[in-house]
Amino acid sequence: MIITLSMNAALDVTYRVPALVPHTTHRVSDVAERPGGKGLNVARVLAALGHPVTVTGFAGGPTGAEVRRRLAAGPYAGRITDALVPIAGQTRRTVGVVDAGSGDTTMFNEPGPTVTPGEWATLLGVYRGLLTAGGGADAVALCGSLPPGVPVGAYAELIREARAAGVYVLLDTDGPALRRGLAARPDLIKPNSEELTGLTGFAEPVRAARDAHRRGARAVAASLGADGMLVVSGDGCWRAAPPARLAGNPTGAGDSAVAGLLSGVAEGLPWPARLARAVALSAATVLAPAAGEYDPAAYGELLPRVEVVPATS
Amino acid sequence: MIITLSMNAALDVTYRVPALVPHTTHRVSDVAERPGGKGLNVARVLAALGHPVTVTGFAGGPTGAEVRRRLAAGPYAGRITDALVPIAGQTRRTVGVVDAGSGDTTMFNEPGPTVTPGEWATLLGVYRGLLTAGGGADAVALCGSLPPGVPVGAYAELIREARAAGVYVLLDTDGPALRRGLAARPDLIKPNSEELTGLTGFAEPVRAARDAHRRGARAVAASLGADGMLVVSGDGCWRAAPPARLAGNPTGAGDSAVAGLLSGVAEGLPWPARLARAVALSAATVLAPAAGEYDPAAYGELLPRVEVVPATS
């Protein structure tokens, strides 16, 4: 079983309009809602790949209730266990407005609710229980920004707990939460180029990833956008790229990559195979018509065509 | 007791952003939610004026539950009775994005849910009961567009029921719903200039209002935007304007005018006094910082300064 933790879960709302014109009124032709936030996106892709997954984090208010209802009713509901912790605050919404013509999206992200010390303590208890339940979890993904009220050292604490329980732990966040988490020696971090440069000060990806590795991450999988992904680990360094430059919506591509990497860990695959899976899933997400979904046919077609090569700086 | 009927109730969500830039991501600094749709806006103003009011119409899904929760928790909750009919569909949201700099608003209006024949029949039954409850209602306001599934002749039926029960009935809608409703001879319609021209084909307000009066409305109160309001009735014709041109947000100004007119009916005021109240409330709504609220101090200050004069074309 894989655990994903969403500190800042969301209800993603997507509106389709003919064209976004500021300071006018738009009749929305189509409304879609789904559970969102990095951890829940990762969980959905893992479930689609056939992995049982338990989601935890916080959910509150009518929007939190709707997130839980949709988790329980979604296409892979049988493989997703809801271990979200109820909070008094309201789960944030994100509203994405898609121009039907260009396909461009304008995002409005609500601020997340403030978490109380008691709610944070409850989450810690739930998390500890999940790490050891049923003979122990295969892996855990800690995803996203920290909501107000959660201590900045929260990820470091969660990483230490996972390592003490012998559970593989991936951290996907940025800024101070990433910097502080790194000190607790996570098994894997998955920054994008910008986050990696922010962390290390180096713009060149291999150099930056090696630096992050030296600072505490046992492995660094850096997503390079359309150029694919780079891994620096104790076992070696590899780079993988999709077979061609792809046009589409990159929303959720990073979360699909996390799911690809973690599913590979849970299946005991070597690094090059994990990397190929992450890059193919990420590309299949860019190609999917709906933001944050991946196209299973494109994934099957792309996977054998991803080229993985040793990386040198 | 006054009844307001909202066929297309909404949960109004307002986001504040520094500036709306299409095809980028915005961090929303402030989120506000409140019950919306014309009928609920009219009810809120009536309650603020001291009138007991019963709201009916449709509410469904998590957004409908939130509308009901906020009606029961709002500042005038003691004067508002919730007689909304539950439906299987989800109450629509409207999302208004306010540029903090300019104050300009960009609106996204979700489509309303489809109403089933059974739900419509239930609403009719609830409505009939409200018309005669407690010795009979003082007045009823039928507000807004018709949701899919409700017959186009719905307002005509609701108007006939009100007239049979001896209850004063106001219709505030447009297009075919207004045209069909007119045939059932409502006591009052409150079109704006554009709706009035659409109905009658005449651009000149007095001529258009007289034509609408002849077509079946016992009285026509035409809102003329910043120029105030015009009334054509069997008792005479008057025009009223605010003491000065006002800058602000006109959202909800028409709903405040409806509340002003209806409160005057319920209190037995003559036409000129109703008209002054409608114009002052409308102006106090434009001046209020939050869309759809009115500024009580501005209302008190403006009311004695509204000039009402006999109207001639």
At the top level of CATH, the class of B1-138 is alpha beta
Find out whether B308 and B272 touch, Cβ atoms under 8 Å: yes
pLDDT reported for residue A290: 75
Which of B106, B107, B145, B251 is the best substitution to test chain A (most A C-beta atoms within 10 A)?
A: B106
Of A15, A62, A111, Cβ closest to residue B108: A15
Quickly tell me which residue has 């997954």 as its tokens.
A53
Chain A residue numbers with beta carbons less than 8 Å from the beta carbon of B106 are: 20-26
Smallest CA–CA distance, residue A15 to chain B, in Å, is 8
Smallest CA–CA distance, residue A104 to chain B, in Å, is 6
Which of A11, A16, A23 is the best substitution to test chain B (most B C-beta atoms within 10 A)?
A: A23
User: Cα-atom radius of gyration of chain A, to the nearest Å?
Assistant: 19
How many residue pairs from chains A and B have C-beta atoms closer than 8 A? 81
**Residue type at B293 in one-letter notation:** E
Please name the helix (run of DSSP H) or strand (run of DSSP E) that holds residue B312, with its range, or none.
none
Q: What is the ipTM of this complex?
A: 0.86
At A313, the pLDDT band (50, 70, 90 cuts) reads: low
* pLDDT, tens digit (0-9, with 9 covering 90-100), for B131-155: 999 889 999 999 999 999 999 999 9
pLDDT reported for residue A232: 97
User: Which residues, other chains included, contact B231 with Cβ-Cβ below 8 Å and sequence gap of 6+?
Assistant: B209, B219, B220, B221, B222, B237, B238, B239, B271, B274, B275, B311
Closest residue in A to B23 (Cα) is: A106
pLDDT reported for residue B285: 93
Could you tell me the residue ranges of all domains in chain B?
1-138, 187-313
Contact A25/B107, CB-based, under 8 Å?
A: yes
Instruction: Establish if B33 touches chain A: CB-CB under 8 angstroms.
Output: no
Weakly modelled stretches of chain B, pLDDT under 50: none
User: Which residues, other chains included, contact A78 with Cβ-Cβ below 8 Å and sequence gap of 6+?
Assistant: none
What's the fold here for domain A2-310?
A: UDP-N-acetylmuramoyl-L-alanine:D-glutamate ligase (3.40.1190)
Give the length of chain B.
313
Instruction: State mean pLDDT over A24-46.
Output: 94
* pLDDT, tens digit (0-9, with 9 covering 90-100), for A141-189: 999 999 999 999 999 999 999 999 999 999 999 999 999 999 999 999 9
pLDDT reported for residue B61: 94
Model-wide pTM > 0.80: yes
At A226, the pLDDT band (50, 70, 90 cuts) reads: confident
Instruction: State mean pLDDT over A285-292.
Output: 82
In 3D space, the residue among B20, B80, B75, B73 whose CA is nearest the CA of residue B56 turns out to be: B80
Phi, psi of B93 (to 5 degrees): -105, 155
Concatenated DSSP letters of A95-116: EEEEETTT--EEEEEPPPPPPP
Of B15, B27, B106, Cβ closest to residue A22: B106
Of B23, B97, B99, Cβ closest to residue A108: B97
* H helical segments located in A26-96: 38-48, 61-73
pLDDT reported for residue B187: 98
Smallest CA–CA distance, residue A281 to chain B, in Å, is 24
Concatenated DSSP letters of B234-293: TTEEEEEE-SS---S--TTHHHHHHHHHHHHHHTT--HHHHHHHHHHHHHHHHHSSSTT-
pLDDT reported for residue A102: 83
pLDDT reported for residue B134: 86
Instruction: Establish if B227 touches chain A: CB-CB under 8 angstroms.
Output: no
Instruction: Establish if B15 touches chain A: CB-CB under 8 angstroms.
Output: yes
At A134, the pLDDT band (50, 70, 90 cuts) reads: confident
At A200, the pLDDT band (50, 70, 90 cuts) reads: very high
What's the fold here for domain B187-313?
A: UDP-N-acetylmuramoyl-L-alanine:D-glutamate ligase (3.40.1190)
| Catalytic annotation present for A255 | yes
Inform me whether the pLDDT recorded for A249 exceeds 80: no
Contact B26/A109, CB-based, under 8 Å?
A: yes
